[in-house]
Amino acid sequence: MHPDLSNPASQIDDGDHALVADILSGNDRAFETLMRRHNQRLFRLARAVVKNDTDAEDVVQEAYVNAYANLSAFEGRASVRTWLSRIVYNGAVRARQKKERSPTIVPSERHETAFGRPMESATDRLRRHDIQTVLNDAFDALPENYRVVVMLRLVEGLSTRETAAALGLSETNVKVRLNRAKSALAAALNERSIHELRRHFAFGGARCNRIVATVLAAIAYPQSSDRPAR
């Protein structure tokens, strides 16, 4: 069945609906275009649930296969991106639950996170890595129901209505979770910043020993004859 383009919800991405119509008419190349249009957002959504790049990639691939197989059932009551987001979110939750029941395996990452970046110095790379680590840790520490809302609303810029539809929530719940997630992120980043500030200005044992040794040497061997005799 072709999507109902008279439905206001379907007007959110009428370009996507045209692609769906092309796919249903037998143009498989249109499905490639649809995937490339939504890959980044769907990958980020899956990553917010499974907290691992490799697993997120697998989730998105499986979701696309399922979507393609069921494309004729899409009726356009929601936007295509909301429909795909719902499939990916449900698949990611199932994948996470399955992994939690299985033995822990450390996956190999297969993503080039710095792909396409301009040349930068080693210092800049280290600084960027430190910032990314702080942000990733703070984000991953959020409860899953907060992470997915942050990813869709703040990172991908979906509306409250779209986010609610994608996650099967009320708009009020989306707003509440987003506000709580912002507060939790701010608190985590603030705490981490204080820790890093203290670490940056740490007074290590080597420095302490050096200061003491220097002062003791100066006392033992005064450099000025004007100093009073002890």
In this structure, the answer to whether residues 96 and 134 fall within a common structural domain is no
In this structure, the answer to whether residues 101 and 208 fall within a common structural domain is no
pLDDT at 83: 92
- pLDDT for 49-90, tens place per residue? 998 898 999 999 999 999 999 998 887 778 898 999 999 999
In this structure, the answer to whether residues 136 and 64 fall within a common structural domain is no
pLDDT at 226: 55
pLDDT at 1: 39
In a domain? residue 112: no
pLDDT at 177: 96
100: number of Cβ within 10 Å: 8
- pTM for the full model? 0.66
Decide if 163 contacts 225 (C-beta within 8 A).
Answer: no
- pLDDT for 189-212, tens place per residue? 888 777 766 766 666 677 778 877
CB within 8 Å of 167: residues ≥ 6 apart: 85, 86, 89, 148, 149, 152, 174
Give the separation between CA 161 and CA 79, rounded to whole angstroms.
11
What are the tokens at 66?
């399922």
| Structural domain range at position 17 | 1-107
pLDDT at 204: 64
Q: What is the 3-state secondary structure (H, E, C) of 177-209?
A: HHHHHHHHHHHHHHHHHHHHHHHHCCCCHHHHH
The segments of the chain whose pLDDT lies below 50 read: 1-12, 107-117, 124, 126
In this structure, the answer to whether residues 147 and 182 fall within a common structural domain is yes
pLDDT at 91: 94
In this structure, the answer to whether residues 5 and 71 fall within a common structural domain is yes
In a domain? residue 113: no
In this structure, the answer to whether residues 4 and 102 fall within a common structural domain is yes
In this structure, the answer to whether residues 154 and 221 fall within a common structural domain is yes
* Domain-ending residue, one of 107, 130, 157: 107
Domain count along the chain: 2
pLDDT at 228: 53
- The SS3 of residue 170 is coil
pLDDT at 110: 46
